[in-house]
Amino acid sequence: MRLEKCWFCSSTVYPGHGIQFVRNDAKIFRFCRSKCHKNFKMKRNPRKVKWTKAYRRVHGKDMTQDSSFEFERKRNRPERYDRNLAENVLKAIPKIDKIRVTRDERHHKNRMKGKKEKLQKEAAKELEQGISLVKAPSALRKDPSLTLPQKIKVSVSQRQSEDNNAMEE
Amino acid sequence: MVQYNFKKITVVPNGKDFVDIILSRTQRQTPTVVHKGYAISRLRQFYMRKVKYTQQNFHDKLSTIIDEFPRLDDIHPFYGDLLHVLYNKDHYKLALGQINTARNLIGKIAKDYVKLLKYGDSLYRCKCLKVAALGRMCTVLKRVGPSLAYLEQVRQHMARLPSIDPNTRTILICGYPNVGKSSFINKITRADVDVQPYAFTTKSLFVGHTDYKYLRYQVIDTPGILDRPFEDRNIIEMCSITALAHLRAAILFFLDISGSCGYSIAQQAALFHSIKSLFMNKPLIIVCNKTDLQPLEGISEEDRKLVMEMKSEALKTVIGQGGEATSDDSVLLTMSTLTEEGVISVKNAACERLLDQRVEVKMKSKKINDCLNRFHVAIPKPRDQKERPPCIPQAVLEAKAKEAAEKEKRKTEKDLENENGGAGVYSMNLRKHYILANDEWKEDILPEILDGHNVYDFIDPDILRRVEELEREEGIRQAEEENDEFEIDGAELTPEQQAALAEIRKKKSLLIQQHRIKKSNAESRPTVPRKFDKDKQYTSERMGRQLSKLGLDPSLAIQRMRSRSVSRRGRKRDRSPEGADGGDRMDVDGDTPGKKQRLSRSRSRSRSVSRPPHEVVPGEGLKDSAQKIKAIKLAKKSVKKRNKEARRGEADRVIPTLKPKHLYSGKRSTGKTDRR
């Protein structure tokens, strides 16, 4: 029993899931679900489909080469069983996983490095350009800071008196 | 071998059937639909295909005929002669030759017409060419019709010929008609040949099989031969002559002692002497039949003399063979088929003579070495009385003994299985025989999958070392990372600025939304100017709110607005704020125009009242109520269901004549004309 990788999206295919397609030249394509299978039948290139791992690797969104990938390799020759070795392996797998995950995160952080600065600059520009939508020019002249103006309260009584005056006339 | 497969020749159809078969096959197996609008090359190809297909079929069928009928020169001369006798070699060859010519002619016709078809320029022309080609081919075949009929008859007759193997042991029976040949063959074989008192009952060769010394002999019964010059013989006699001439067989010449066949012994002896040339190199036995009617001793002197002459001739053949001069028992025999005495001895004598002759011939031929082992098996003669058994080394013997013992003692897995409940209950422990460094590990279970990884992919003898390296590397990298963790923060917005930015964004999205709605509805809805504001959005309060939000003081603006509205209104309306008048003025709070004064729709009322249908609302775009009524009518009419079922409606009633004459004039035959 083996966990395989989906040919299209590179996610793991657990036993009992997915479809396997064998082509006439004996190449085997495994798919994790019908979404991947249908995309394959449509002859879509996974390197161009945004949500697949292949795309992410090709476009540098995810880490490609790393020494932590070297540990997991399909071995064709079985090794004779050794209890100590088995113990070590079972202990090592979570460690390797953890390291891989931290490296992934680091990669992501590196990718996102300049983002905050960029966002701040954009926000500042937008604020400066769009202040006229929320603040009248006269108010801006009076108070040149780029903030919302002070709300002016109009009293109701003033209005009533106006009305009464008109009626009396 | 070809000679035995006369039964396997395919049926030769007669001329008309032949043509029918081929033409209908062409019709079925080639495409049939063609239109004159097709490309010319396609039309040509269509018709060429038909012509070629027909020619091919003719060729195939005629070739099978020619191939399957035997060539008289290639088969055994016995069969060749037999067929010649029966069917006339020349006629046979001519017929096959004609078929061959027909085949060639058809080929030529097809070739010529295909050449012509290549240049056909219209559907009609191509079709005519094809019709002509097929017609000519069929005519050729029709001319050949009689040959086909003849060949079919020949085939039918050939299929019924007896299957005679010319090379095996054969006994031939000949003699005058009615001497008892068929009765003899009936006696010794299982053949059931017609026996009748009239001559020429047997008209063709018949074969039976008999056994002698575990060998099978063919016995061939021939039709009777009369004593005539060779040229005068009829076909039936020729059959037997052919058989006599070509088959290497033992010959039984039958003699009727009693003369009840209608021919005297003298005549029979004369026949004997005329055909004795055919008895060269063949074991000959003279059989005197019908001894129950007339025993051999009782015949007259001349007859006896003749018989002895024949016997001496027969003896000559024996001596000619190189065999010992036996007694005349094996040359001249008597028997009676009726009482069955002597029949078996005749058969035995014949078989024995034949066998001897054949063995001798075989001995002399070169093929003797192939069959020598059938005659004699050589065994070396023992030199002395010493025993010489085979030699087996001692070690081998011991090993064999040990193995045998072990096989009995060892307990197999099968035994274990049977002890523990059989095949379905017990499953063997496959791990029992594992070879591991430590035997305690035999029953260990290793998981195959862990955390979404295949464990077998990670197994590596030096995995510990590598993991340590990896962790070290990771530690280094983490340290480096901590060093350059600081990011320049830059100018961050204050919370008030952030609030302003949020407000700006909200406003922008609202504007975009409204624009989108307007754009999508631009074609289907008319843009109503703001003064006909049905939803009452544009109020002074709203204006005030918006202005104050922008940071301006709205009070002046509101004042100005109110003052203007006040001046326009007039006194009357002040007194009755619920009064209505059709007129455009600035819409202030709550007043709406309306025709009827009693209907008030001011906001002070808690219940709303619906409008009458003809009341014109200023935002709708209609001039006055008359126009509105017309518009409503048109709308209702357009929604009415049309009568598409072609039923009569009210408008379809027609009275062709309002005053038909027959109702308004004339007398009645019965009754009064009071009422019209």
d(CA B132, CA B54): 13
Residue entry with tokens 């009533």: A160
Residue A20: Cβ within 10 Å count: 12
CA distance A42 to chain B (A): 29
Q: Least CA distance to A126: which residue of chain B? A: B501
Burial class (CB in 10 A: 0-12, 13-18, 19+), B346: buried
N-terminal to C-terminal alpha carbon distance within chain B: 114
Residue B576's closest CA among B606, B605, B595, B597?
Answer: B597
Q: Which candidate in B431, B435, B441, B454 is best for mutational testing of the A interface (most A CBs within 10 A)?
A: B454
Q: What is the mean pLDDT of residues B338-365?
A: 84
Chain B contact present for A101, CB below 8 A: no
Non-local CB neighbours of B554 within 8 Å, separated by 6+ positions: A152, A154, B543, B544, B545, B547, B548
pLDDT in tens, B618-664: 888 888 999 999 999 999 999 988 878 888 888 888 888 999 998 88
CA distance A138 to chain B (A): 8
Mean pLDDT lowest for which of A155-159, B155-159, B311-315?
A155-159
Enumerate the β-bridge partners of residue B218: B170, B209
Q: Which residues of A touch B434 (CB under 8 A)?
A: 81
Enumerate the β-bridge partners of residue B212: B215
How high is the pLDDT of residue B596? 46
How high is the pLDDT of residue B591? 47
Q: What are the backbone angles phi and psi of residue B287, rounded to the nearest 5°?
A: -115, 125
Percentage of chain A exceeding pLDDT 90: 67
CB contact under 8 A, A146 and B436: no
pLDDT band at B668 (very low <50, low <70, confident <90, very high): confident
Q: Give the closest of A12, A103, A147 to B452, CB-based.
A: A12
CA B149 from chain centre, in angstroms, equals 36
d(CA B277, CA B408): 80
CB contact under 8 A, B448 and A106: no
Q: Least CA distance to B549: which residue of chain A? A: A151
Enumerate the β-bridge partners of residue B449: B454
Q: Which residues of A touch B446 (CB under 8 A)?
A: 81, 86
Element at B449 (helix H, strand E): strand B449-450
N-terminal to C-terminal alpha carbon distance within chain A: 99
Is the per-residue pLDDT at B578 higher than 50?
A: no
What does DSSP say about strands B250-256 and B170-175: parallel, antiparallel, or unpaired? parallel
* CA B20 vs CA B32, B105, B107, B138, B214: distances in Å: 17, 19, 18, 9, 54
CB contact under 8 A, A148 and B496: yes
- Asked if B458 contacts A71 with a C-beta cutoff of 8 angstroms, the reply is yes
Q: Give the closest of A85, A126, A153 to B461, CB-based.
A: A85
- Average pLDDT over chain B, rounded to whole? 84
Q: What is the mean pLDDT of residues B64-92?
A: 88
Residue with the larger pLDDT of the pair A97 and B177: A97
* CA B402 vs CA A162, B409, B411: distances in Å: 134, 11, 16
CB contact under 8 A, B452 and A83: no
pTM > 0.80: no
What does DSSP say about strands A28-31 and A4-5: parallel, antiparallel, or unpaired? unpaired
* CA B159 vs CA B10, B220, B495: distances in Å: 11, 18, 118
Q: Which residues of A touch B501 (CB under 8 A)?
A: 123, 126-127, 130
Q: Which residues of B touch A149 (CB under 8 A)?
A: 549-551
Q: What is the mean pLDDT of residues B99-104?
A: 95
* CA B562 vs CA B537, B548, B553: distances in Å: 17, 18, 16
d(CA B90, CA A78): 85
How high is the pLDDT of residue B580? 45
Residue B560's closest CA among B574, B547, B576, B575?
Answer: B547
Is the per-residue pLDDT at B58 higher than 90?
A: yes
Mean pLDDT lowest for which of B85-99, B193-207, B363-377, B422-436?
B363-377
pLDDT in tens, A102-125: 999 999 999 998 888 999 999 999
pLDDT band at B606 (very low <50, low <70, confident <90, very high): low
**Side-by-side strand order, sheet with B332-334:** B206-212, B215-221, B170-175, B250-256, B284-289, B332-334
Q: Which residues of B touch A152 (CB under 8 A)?
A: 548, 551-554
CA distance A45 to chain B (A): 26
CB contact under 8 A, A166 and B566: yes
Residue B536 gets which letter from DSSP? -
